[in-house]
Amino acid sequence: METNSFIMEISEKNLVNNIDYLKEKYKKNILPVIKANAYGHGIQIIAKALYKNGYKEFSVARLNEAIKILEDKELAKCKILVFETIDQKYYSYIKNCNSIVVTANSFKELINLIDNGMPSKRIQLKIDFGFGRNGIDTSEISMLKSYITEKNLEFNGIYSHLYATDFNEGKELINRFNEIVLSLGREKFQMIHIQNSVGILFYGTQNFTTHMRSGIFIYGLQEEGFFHEGLKQVFQLKGKVAGVKDIEESKYLAYTSKDDLNNKDYKNIVKIKIGYGDGFLKCNENSLCIINKKTYKILSVTMDNTFIAGDDFVSEGDEVILYPDINLIRNNTGMHICEVLPLINERIERVLK
């Protein structure tokens, strides 16, 4: 590793704590969502940590994410639900890969999967309640029921999603989903799930569901207004001070005139080796980091380096922690939690602690 470079340190202990906490609190099995590089935490490292601790069912958005997980031969016996529609040219590959569970995102797609020899017990049905994303339209439920009965099909699961609903509408959609499951035959589905992390906090769990589908909560990421005291942040983005300079006599800081900087109350400039080339964006300018348990303001972010307003208490080699409190990201950057971490790219090594 390059001297003073940054790493994303992943706490296996906190990851397992979060899933165990949710499982105990809501008395349901957890279906971890590890799409988008496990929300930036590293898809392989998270999958391996979960598998090691007895969690062997995951969900991802795309087929290439499932393939990435399965590159690790130790994970060959896991089950991975893929949310998005898979191109027919990959059907032969999927049929020979028992770890992958596909989603039928429309009635037509279900027929196509069955006609191409996909076992129904490796298919989950997604129901669309009008969010403009994907899923089998509720107007097709009667046709779906007839088709399932005619073919005598049993499935790996059925699910839907609550998105941008107010509380009462969300309750109504949960009830409608339950009615659809009962209409199709609850016994035909091994797994039944509807709520994402915030939906879990809003509505608790439902008697008819088998799993909670959780993304941000398993990583200890929490949105404003939705807080669980039992969840712990899984990652730390940390590195070392690469250098400290007195630029009092300088006109510029990196590519910027000092006159254009918002903050002028500093004595020294602290350089760290991370920038927007690593996915640490310029919107982090004027946010805070921690050095030696004290907060400091970030002045400038360039492609490969970031510059911090320092003082006489900071020295080369001191530890720097970025995003010390992930829940403040929106206040500091204007970006949502889910927008920030997946941008941290492969130049930043993920290390399991």
Q: What is the mean pLDDT of residues 287-299?
A: 93
CA distance 45 to 41: 8
pLDDT of residue 34: 97
Lowest-confidence segment of 105-109, 193-197, 202-206 by average pLDDT: 202-206
- pLDDT of residue 163 exceeding 70, the answer is no
Q: Are 18 and 214 in contact (CB under 8 A)?
A: no
Q: Return mean pLDDT, the chain.
A: 89
Share of the chain above pLDDT 70, in %: 88
CA distance 88 to 309: 54
What are the CA-CA distances from residue 70 to residues 97, 259, 273 (Å)? 10, 52, 32
Residues 201-254 pLDDT 10s: 666 667 789 999 999 999 998 766 566 778 999 999 999 999 998 766 565 566
Q: How confident is the model at residue 26 (pLDDT cuts 50, 70, 90)?
A: confident
Q: Give the predicted TM-score (pTM) of the model.
A: 0.90
- pLDDT of residue 29 exceeding 60, the answer is yes
CA distance 4 to 332: 25
pLDDT of residue 179: 96
pLDDT of residue 257: 58
Q: What is the mean pLDDT of residues 54-74?
A: 95
pLDDT of residue 245: 84
Residues 71-89 pLDDT 10s: 999 998 999 999 999 999 9
Q: How confident is the model at residue 261 (pLDDT cuts 50, 70, 90)?
A: low
pLDDT of residue 263: 59
Place of tokens 């069955």: 114
CA distance 213 to 81: 11
pLDDT of residue 99: 96
pLDDT of residue 250: 63
Secondary structure of the chain in the HEC alphabet?
CCCCECEEEECHHHHHHHHHHHHHHHCCEEEEECHHHHHCCCHHHHHHHHHHCCCCEEEECCHHHHHHHHCCHHHCCCEEEECCCCCHHHHHHHHCCCCEEEEECCHHHHHHHHHCCCCHHHEEEEEECCCCCCCEEHHHHHHHHHHHHHHCCCEEEEECCCCCCCHHHHHHHHHHHHHHHHHHCHHHEEEEECCCHHHHHHHCCCCCCCEEEECHHHHCCCCCCCCCCCCCCCEEEEEEEEEEECCCCCCEECCEEHHHCCCCCCCEEEEEECCHHHCCCHHHCCCEEEECCEEEEEEEECCCCEEEEECCCCCCCCEEEECCCHHHHHHHHCCCHHHHHHHCCCCCEEEEC
Q: Are 166 and 210 in contact (CB under 8 A)?
A: no
Share of the chain above pLDDT 90, in %: 70
User: Who has greater pLDDT, 39 or 227?
Assistant: 39
Q: What is the mean pLDDT of residues 153-173?
A: 85
pLDDT of residue 251: 58
Q: What is the mean pLDDT of residues 192-197?
A: 80
